Each structure stands twice: as structure tokens, then as C-alpha cells.
Chains A and B, each alone.
Chain A
Amino acid sequence: MAGQGNAAASLFTEPEMEFLGEDETISIIPNVRLEAVQLICGDFGPFYPQIPVKVPLWLGIAMKKRSKCRIQPPDWMSVERLAQVLDDEREAPREFQPLPFHYVEISRLLLDNAREDFENNFMVQSLLEDIKDVRWDKVEAGLKTLATRTHAVKLKNVSAMEVNRMRNFTVRALQSFYKHDSEDLVKQTGLESDSQTTSTSEHLPRRTLRPR
């Protein structure tokens, strides 16, 4: 973030991404009685024991740490759903499956703090790790193809943490290739431009990293 001293560091650090991810709502089952809380992001209804209520993730985690609630796992974190996502990821080598934008942060927070609220938590964790690995492999494979003339990169359904990991490298790589690619080859005549102009006309103006 600005003013933190290390100008070369990424725009967002990982704890900051986690902070942003904590804004998502989850459903909790309180075991105490509380009146409605009025927060900047909205009002969250009166808490009655054993009645599920939707709250922001940070509030749910805070209450869980004080043993005031039980967390209901989100729908997308069930074993069947995650297994389905994993299969789809493996079958489509160039596309990403839709997942919540902050799925890495949310899953990590929930599994760290509310492990016992998941049945099959080992299964869920291993599935999530596999999904993460498969997606990151796709990202790396895509980055390898950056070497041809790419002006912009479009990635659909990439999650926040993955974007953060590759942002610095991708931006600098694109800058380097742009610097060397545009003026030199176009300006100089000679044998190379003939073979190069055919490939450039396919790729300009924009080359997507993955099909839409």
C-alpha cells in the first residue's frame, strides 16, 4: 500500500487481501442472545440462539473465537461441490471455473478457526489445495505464452489471491516485451519483418490468454 516504504512491493500484500476478503457474508448460528448491531456496512439483525443469521466474515470469526457462535459452511465449500469444481478444472485446460473471488482467503480463515464446524474437513482442505494447484498451473502455462506479441491479457474467473501472486510479474513482463517489441521490429526493415508481420496481424490488437 502507499507509503509503506517498499516501493517495489506488490500493490496489495497478502494480509491486505485477506482483510478485503473478510467482507463476505456467511451464515452463523449464535448461541447467545444479542440485539441488532449497526455497522458501517449495514445492520445485522438481532441474534437469537439457534437461529441462523447472516453476518460479515470478520464478525463471524470474531464471535467464533469467543465461542459465541457456530459457523455454517458456505454452499460452495461442500465436498460434492468442490469435487465437481476440481473435475471441471482438470477437464478444461484453458479455462477457470467460477469460484468466489476470495475463495482462498475465506477457506483459509474458516478452516483455521472453525474446523470442527465442517464435516469432512480434511477432504475439503485437500480438495481446495488441489483446486488451487490446478488453477495455478494454468496460470503458469498461460504466462509462458506471453512471449508472443501480447498487448493485454484477459483472465476470466481468476481469484483475488491468484491475481495478486502474478500481478507484479505479469505487468513487468508485458512492459518488457512491449518495450522491445513495438518500435524495433516495426521500424527496422530487413528480413525479419517479413516473417514477423504475418504473425503480428493475427495477434493485434488484443490477444486473450484464454478463450472466452
Chain B
Amino acid sequence: MSKYYDLNDILVEDEVVSTVFHHKANGVGYLDPGSEDDNVEKGAVVELPLWLAQDLSRRKIIQVNLPPCFGAKVRKEVQADPACVNLRSKCPYFYEMGCKLADITGDPSLGGFLLSTLRGRYRDILCKALTSTITSTPKFMTLLTQEETHLFEAGRDSMRTFQKWRLQGPQLERAPILGRKRR
């Protein structure tokens, strides 16, 4: 519940997953663009946002299928070279979604796959973050998910402020509170 107000969490749960209905559902035909009447048939494949899918799967009404970004093809790509896979285009919230889906779908290998992906990419993130200048980064950054970008920016910004301090002498800064005009 501590994540209720977390913006990133809200955005993660907005991602869609494809699900299969176990039972017929009346009156919610708008969820399924392929249904003729107002009901969802048993066995229909529907795309639902994660927050809805989580709750419904807990009540065993639907079965969540693993999205393609966690499928076998991506796993092979990651095994080949973790640092070059463009995870952002597949799913910008790759790790968070994986964590939530690991609960729902009960796929035992998902957690291990996420961890090994993170480990593989971690070294590259570390090197690039600590040695990047303003111009050299943009290409690599487009491959990173939201969480990795968070990490990357922490490293890069701390290096940048240190360089700035080293090259410039101590400067008197105007405190931000003085900048506001009082009426």
C-alpha cells in the first residue's frame, strides 16, 4: 500500500497485458472490442490494464498471458548480449512489470531472468554513467528502462557536479528563497 501514491507504480500498472477469460462476464462487453453484444464470452482473449488484470486474476476470473517482452525471443536476445537490447521499446517498465507478473502468472523463471538481465546490463550502465560527457550518452540511454535510467542519471549527475566543482572555484550562489518577489 505504500506504493499507492508512487507515480511510477501507477504508470507501470497502466500497461496492458493480454488475458483469457475463464468465465463469461456480463455487461462488460466494452472491454473486448471483438464482442458483438454486451458480454464477454468464456475463453475470449482480451487486453486489460495491469491493475485490472491483477485483481481479476486473484479472483480466478482470468488467466494472464505473459506479454511478448518476456517471451523466449527476448530471453535469447538478452542471453546473447544484455547491454545492447533495447528494453525501452519493448516495455519501459520492464523490471517492475516483471516483478508484478511473477506474482500473477506464477512463472518460476521470470524472477531469475529479470535478475540476470539486470546484472548483465549493470556493468555497462556503471561504466557509461561514470565516464560520460554531455555528448556521448544519448544513444545508450535510449536502450534503458525507467529504473535503469534512474540509476544511470544518479551516477552521471554526481560525476558532473563533481567536475563542475573542481573546475570552478567556489561561487556565491543566490539562495533560491531570495528569488521570489514579495508583494
Contact = CB atoms under 8 A, between A and B. Distances in A.
A19 to B, nearest CB: 9
A168 B158 contact: yes
Given A112-B169, A184-B111, A192-B112, 9 more contacts: A10-B157, A10-B158, A14-B162, A140-B126, A147-B119, A164-B162, A165-B159, A169-B126, A190-B108
Given A140-B126, A140-B130, A14 B115 contact: no
B107 to A, nearest CB: 8
28 contacts: A4-B176, A9-B157, A13-B161, A14-B161, A14-B165, A15-B173, A143-B126, A144-B123, A144-B126, A146-B122, A161-B162, A167-B158, A169-B129, A169-B151, A169-B154, A171-B154, A173-B122, A176-B147, A176-B151, A180-B115, A181-B115, A184-B115, A185-B111, A185-B112, A185-B115, A188-B108, A189-B108, A196-B112
Interface of B: 95, 99, 102, 108-112, 114-115, 118-119, 122-123, 126, 129-130, 147, 150-151, 153-155, 157-159, 161-162, 164-166, 169-171, 173, 176
Given A144-B123, A183-B111, A184-B112, A172 B161 contact: no
- Main secondary structure, interface of B, reads helix
Interface in A55-94: none
A168 B155 contact: yes
Contacts of A161: 162
Contacts of B158: 10, 164-169
B126 A15 contact: no
Interface in A1-35: 4-5, 8-10, 13-15, 18
Given A10-B161, A147-B123, A188-B112, A180 B95 contact: yes
B164 A14 contact: yes
Interface residues of A, number: 40
Contact of B114 (A14, A140, A180): A180
A179 interface: yes
Contact of A172 (B99, B119, B154, B159): B154
Contacts of A146: 122
